[in-house]
């Protein structure tokens, strides 16, 4: 039997194997750490983005709600303006018709007065030619004097300025009395002394806000049926028209005298609008 030699071969690992394994382990641990860290940062970033998106969504919703409210308010304002425009347009049509009618009546009155004066003058000349007695001449003189008085009165009426509504504008107490005698309107005279003192005059409450006596201008606030509006830097003898509910003809207020923190004038009320009037202060001449 042959001898068998068993040869045992031992292999030894190189010296660098263990350090390499350790290094690889550290690298793996480091990778895991960096991976975990990146994942944590990603989660934080995702939460921040979600929070920002939520905040942005809430802001957008608030803006949309605010925009809807503003659109609704604008629509309401537009509807109110359309209603006001319709009312103003309707009153303007009435005003234009009244102005045309007033002009026609004024022209007709002037023509009738001229015709009466012509006829009366012809009659006077005829009487002078046919009657020579002293008494007759005295009667004729009386008639002539009456004609002159009527003619002077007519001339004074024609001298008065007319408003855009065709109404005569009185510049003083005497002219107001002259307009009263015509019987077409009622006139309530007043004086306001001092600013910011509301005063009831006829159908309107008037409050003096300021006076520029050098320019004969004034500013005042008016309250008509609980509606207040201001008129600034208005000229003396410039009428201010206003309407009362249920009436077709406008009333007017005229300031014909301006002083230091004092104004005087009158409120003109058509007979068709007449009702018991009260005033806290009136003035004479």
pLDDT (0 to 100) of residue 79: 83
Domain annotation for the chain: domains and CATH numbers:
168-273 (2.60.98)
* Banded model confidence at residue 18, pLDDT cuts 50, 70, 90: confident
- Of the two residues 208 and 62, the one the predictor is more confident about is 208
Give the tens place of pLDDT for each residue, 185-242: 999 999 999 999 999 998 899 999 999 988 989 999 999 998 999 999 999 999 999 9
Q: 125 CB contacts (<8 Å, ≥6 apart)? A: none
- Of the two residues 260 and 158, the one the predictor is more confident about is 260
pLDDT at 111 over 50: yes
pLDDT (0 to 100) of residue 280: 38
pLDDT (0 to 100) of residue 143: 60
Phi, psi (deg, nearest 5) at residue 66: -60, -40
Sequence length of the chain is 285
pLDDT at 271 over 50: yes
Query: What is the pTM for the complete model shown?
Result: 0.43
What are the C-alpha distances in Å from 228 to residues 104, 105, 225, 231? 34, 34, 8, 10
pLDDT (0 to 100) of residue 103: 74
């Amino acid at each position: 039997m042959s001898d068998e030699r068993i040869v045992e071969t031992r292999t030894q690992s190189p010296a660098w194997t263990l350090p390499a394994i350790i290094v690889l382990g550290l690298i793996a641990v480091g990778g895991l750490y960096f991976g975990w860290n990146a994942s944590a940062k990603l989660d934080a970033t995702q939460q921040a983005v979600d929070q920002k998106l939520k905040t942005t969504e809430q802001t957008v919703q608030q803006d949309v709600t605010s925009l809807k409210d503003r659109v609704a308010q604008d629509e309401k304002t537009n509807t109110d303006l359309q209603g006001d425009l319709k009312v103003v347009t309707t009153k303007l049509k009435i005003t234009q018709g009244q102005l045309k009618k007033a002009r026609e009546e004024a022209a007709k009155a002037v023509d009738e007065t001229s015709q009466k004066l012509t006829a009366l003058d012809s009659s006077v000349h005829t009487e002078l030619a046919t009657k020579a007695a002293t008494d007759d001449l005295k009667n004729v003189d009386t008639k002539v004097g009456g004609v002159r008085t009527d003619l002077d009165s007519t001339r004074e009426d024609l001298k008065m300025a007319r408003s855009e509504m065709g109404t005569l504008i009185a510049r003083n107490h005497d002219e107001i009395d002259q307009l009263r005698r015509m019987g077409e309107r009622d006139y309530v005279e007043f004086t306001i002394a001092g600013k910011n003192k509301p005063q009831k005059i006829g159908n309107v409450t008037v409050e003096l806000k300021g006076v520029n006596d050098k320019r004969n201008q004034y500013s005042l606030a008016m309250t008509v049926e609980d509606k207040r509006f201001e008129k600034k830097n208005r000229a003396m003898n410039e009428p201010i028209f206003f309407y009362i509910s249920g009436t077709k003809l406008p009333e007017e207020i005229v300031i014909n005298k301006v002083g230091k923190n004092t104004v005087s004038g009158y409120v003109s009320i058509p007979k068709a609008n007449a009702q018991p009037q009260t005033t806290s202060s009136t003035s004479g001449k």
